[in-house]
Structure 1
């Protein structure tokens, strides 16, 4: 009886995962104030994640070291295989506007803004990181979630980050 329920549950999970994969995620949307990230396919939300942000999460990233997460329209442009975190997807910050604003202010706009998992070797501590803003400006999820996101989000996918 239990074996049959487990098998049925596993089949449902596989079908659901296949539906999400088949959905073709074509946009990532982040709501900083709500600490959520949504994956969309054809305008429909297919998955939502709780996220952590930079240590100073309010406002748009202005310069290197301000620990803010940028706001605006970017692209997931590559993956970093040498990340100090469990997997990472690079966000195309700074864009031309960010660079121009930083130049005008006489500062370095920074870079290396990622969606990533936990620091390497700290997967066991996911409950410590959950619900906290702890990055230097990146968007953080747990390791299981970044593995799923990495499978669902292709390079070239637009990402919109709202305040």
Structure 2
């Protein structure tokens, strides 16, 4: 009887191990040369030159209308930036940093007497079991964890990103 339980337990462990997948995917397709985010449409496009490779529904900052002006305003910045860092240990599954704030952003925030903030990312969800609906981030661009795995594999540091109203 014990031998049977041991064999059944071993088979279950092997079966469960086969179900786990790495969050790090490989991508061998065309280079992503540009990212475009259209905030009003809640869409993000990964492009190779002028060809759309992939597009995604997105969630934004909890105050999605308008440009980001200072830390804590809940808005997603608008303008042209770069993907400037990669975070494989993000608490939001995986994340790609956006080079906000730029010089103009700093000047605008200073004129309001506030810090510009930072740590704006494209990222996944905090929990795949509690998918949020609607805009919920503090100014970031969010996709599902599965989608973020693809984005993380496809996009390289230095890729330009245009965030439109």
Tell me whether the two structures share a fold, i.e. TM-score over 0.5: yes
- Aligned 1:13-24 pairs, distance under 5 A: 21-24=28-31
**Offset, 1:137:** 0.5
Match of 1:151 in 2: 153
Match of 2:115 in 1: 108
Classify the secondary structure of the residue corresponding to 1:123: coil
From 51, 57, 60, the equivalent of 2:64 is 57
**Offset, 1:125:** 2.6
**Offset, 1:105:** 1.7
Match of 1:135 in 2: 137
Aligned residue pairs, count? 141
CA distance in 1, matches of 2:28, 2:147: 14
How large is the Cα RMSD of the aligned pairs? 1.6
**Offset, 1:23:** 1.3
CA distance in 2, matches of 1:63, 1:51: 22
Moved over 4 A (4+): none
Q: Which runs of 5+ in 2 are unaligned?
A: 1-25
CA distance in 2, matches of 1:107, 1:84: 27
Q: Scaled by the length of structure 2, what TM-score is found? A: 0.81
Match of 2:50 in 1: 43
Map Cα deviations across residues 53-84 of structure 1 (whole Å, 9 max, x no partner): 00000000000000000000000000123422
- Greater Rg over alpha carbons, structure: 2
Q: Scaled by the length of structure 1, what TM-score is found? A: 0.82
CA distance in 1, matches of 2:130, 2:89: 21
